[in-house]
Amino acid sequence: MIRILIADDHAIVRSGLKQIFATTLDICVVGEATRGEDIPEQLKDRQVDLLLLDMAMPGLAGIELIRTLRMQQGEIPILVLSMHNEGQIVARALKAGANGYVTKGSEPEVLLEGIRRVARGGKFIDPALKDAMNSDVGKHSTPTHPALSERERQVLEGIAAGQSLGDIADRLHLSPKTVSTHKMRLMDKLCIDNNADLIRYAIRHDLTNR
């Protein structure tokens, strides 16, 4: 039996995942976490064979969360389940210590295959992501962005990790309005007008988790 800890802050997602696992004979859910900071305690309190991780949760999240878990939890198998399908995001997650990566738009069969393979000690990448990863190989263009302030960089890191402006505000002990202002300023400096392009820029130019 593969014992799973689901780490995702959306109750509907967790419920849907448990319904999928209920149809199997070899997978069961032994715990749930809704914040990155809660995961170590959950892993300490129960036997877990695999961590199913959404990187975009309140508090500690993203690549920083994976790195922290890898340092604190040793060899626990980590399978990322994320809405992000950018090739470089996938590559950075794997480099940080994740054992596999599946998108939330995948079929249940793909997720189950990933869980079983990672739980056995293997690696797994959602087949739908391979083209995206291949297209990103060799993309290391020279950054042309102006210098960002420390606060702007911190806001950018949070956005790239999938955090909401409210979560970023809580983490930085700022008001949501102030965070929104920092976001508008950094987007003006980078000449970017939407979150998707902002995340691509951040990953491509290594402006996250510095």
> Residue 86: what pLDDT?
77
Query: What pLDDT does residue 210 have?
Result: 46
- Statement to judge: residues 87 and 166 lie in one domain: no
Residue 208 β-bridge partners:
none
User: How far apart, in whole angstroms, are the C-alpha atoms of residue 114 and residue 79?
Assistant: 8
Higher pLDDT, 171 or 79: 79
Percent of the chain with pLDDT over 70: 89
Q: Are strands 50-53 and 27-33 parallel, antiparallel or unpaired?
A: unpaired
131 and 160 both lie in a single domain: no
Long-range pairs, 169-172, Cβ under 8 A, ≥24: 170/58, 170/59, 171/59
Tokens of 87: 């090739």
pLDDT reported for residue 115 = 97
Burial letters 27-44, b for 16+ CB under 10 A, else e: beebbbbbebebbeebbe
97 with 25, same domain: the answer is yes
Look up the CATH number of the domain holding residue 197: 1.10.10.10
Question: What tens digit of pLDDT does each residue of 11-34 get?
Answer: 999 999 999 999 999 999 999 999
Burial class of residue 24 in the structure, from the number of CB atoms within 10 Å of its CB (0-12 exposed, 13-18 middle, 19+ buried): middle
Residues 99 and 56 in one domain: yes
| Claim to verify: residue 160 and residue 124 sit in the same structural domain | no
| Contact indicator for 33, 45 with CB cutoff of 8 Å | no
Flag the least confident range among 87-96, 147-156, 201-210.
201-210
Region label for 138, one of left (φ > 0), alpha (ψ between -120 and 50) or beta (otherwise) = left
The mean-pLDDT minimum among 23-27, 39-43, 111-115, 144-148 falls in 144-148
Determine the structural domain holding residue 75 and report its residue range.
2-136
**How many domains does the structure of the chain reveal?**
2
Q: How far is CA 21 from the centre of its chain?
A: 21
Residues 121 and 166 reside in one and the same domain: no
Mean pLDDT score of the chain, rounded to an integer?
A: 85
78 neighbors 54 (Cβ within 8 angstroms): no
The CATH code of the domain that includes 15 is 3.40.50.2300
Q: pLDDT at position 12, please?
A: 95
- Residues pairing with 7 in the sheet: 33, 53
Mean pLDDT over 31-38 rounds to 92
Answer yes or no: do 98 and 163 share one domain: no
Q: Where are the alpha helices (DSSP H) in the chain?
A: 11-21, 39-45, 62-73, 87-96, 108-119, 130-136, 150-160, 165-172, 176-190, 195-204
Q: Are residues 34 and 81 in the same domain?
A: yes
pLDDT at 146: 55
Tokens standing for residue 113: 């295959």
One domain, residues 126 and 168: no
Q: Tell me the pLDDT tens digit for each residue of 144-201.
A: 455 678 888 889 888 887 788 899 999 899 999 999 888 888 887 777 777 777 887 7
7 and 48 Cβ atoms separated by less than 8 Å: no
**Residue 209's pLDDT is what?**
53
Final residue of a structural domain among 136, 158, 176 = 136
If asked whether residues 120 and 190 sit together in one domain, one would say: no
CA distance 68 to 71: 5
